[in-house]
Amino acid sequence: MRGDAPTHFENGTGASVIPPPSHFIEQDYSRYVERDHETWKTLYNRMIPFWERYANRHYLEGLARLQLHPGRVPRLEQVNGFLNPLTGFQARAVSGYIPAFEFFDCLRNRVFPTTIRVRPTDQLDYYPEPDIFHDVAGHVPMHTDRAFAEVLVRFGECAHEAARRRTDPQAIASNIRAMARFFWFTVEFGLMRTPQGIKAYGSGLLSSHGELEHSIESPAVQRYPLQLEWAINQGFEIDHYQPLLFTVESFDALYEEVGRLIVWMREGKLDNVALGEPEINARDIESFFGTADHRL
């Protein structure tokens, strides 16, 4: 079982690893104003009945373990005080976009880059960029689960190995696109089949009351067991509810799918996936060059 993780977390070489701090910032809590706390309160409290009905039990258990305040923007230091002893993960503040390799490599090192901005009050229902509610309320409760945490670490290892093996920019772009799609259809928008019915574990669903309900209740949504070849060749768009979602039976099964992703990467099957969303920019490709050797 992947949930049987060690209580001391290392990178496999005997030394604990913290990623380079170039993208990390401090969370200056004094900069939050009352409007920010009211926004968090609104977002959090309206999600509670939807979480109770549609979230998977691992998420609900994680939410309870983190003890997030329903009326105040969370302090990452306090969040990590609950999170780190459970799985070795920690949430680290960032100001915004992080290139692909740096983000994936953070996961390998049990660090989750966390946006600390609060979305504007006039964009509560849809905000196109990550914010602290999406990252902390959507993602971080799942990081308290050991089996799911191991999925993230193994996914980061896949990207790390791809950076060591690939030198052609076109192949790198294709590998990034494949991994981004896999991440999207699992970590961001994944569903799980349980004895109680289909439940959500993806953070994009768990941070959106409208899409969370839609993902499980709507007859317009296609729901299929996760198929690796389909997921990595399937484009997605971020500005509307997702019409296609994938289900898994357990996080152990998802861990094995990441293992298949690694095998396919080694065999070159990620080098020419279907074009389309997401678009890969130059910074993402550059992040895979010259960065793997000093992070072994």
Using CA atoms, how far apart are residues 176 and 291, in angstroms rounded to an integer?
Answer: 15
Using CA atoms, how far apart are residues 179 and 193, in angstroms rounded to an integer?
Answer: 23
- CB burial readout 100-128, b (16+ within 10 A) else e: bbbbbbbbbbbbbbbbbbbbeeeeeeebe
The encoded tokens of residue 261 equal 């992703």
Sign of the alpha-carbon dihedral angle for 181, 133, 145, 212:
negative
CA dihedral 98, 103, 105, 109 (to 10 degrees): 110
Answer for the pair 215, 205: CB distance below 8 angstroms, yes or no. yes
Orientation angle between helical segments 146-165 and 100-108, nearest 10 degrees: 130
Using CA atoms, how far apart are residues 243 and 265, in angstroms rounded to an integer?
Answer: 27
Catalytic residues: 134, 139, 188, 207
Residues making up the chain, counted from first to last: 296
- Could you say which DSSP state residue 24 is in? B
Instruction: Report which residue type is found at 51.
Output: W
Q: Is 196 exposed, middle or buried (0-12, 13-18, 19+ CB in 10 A)?
A: exposed
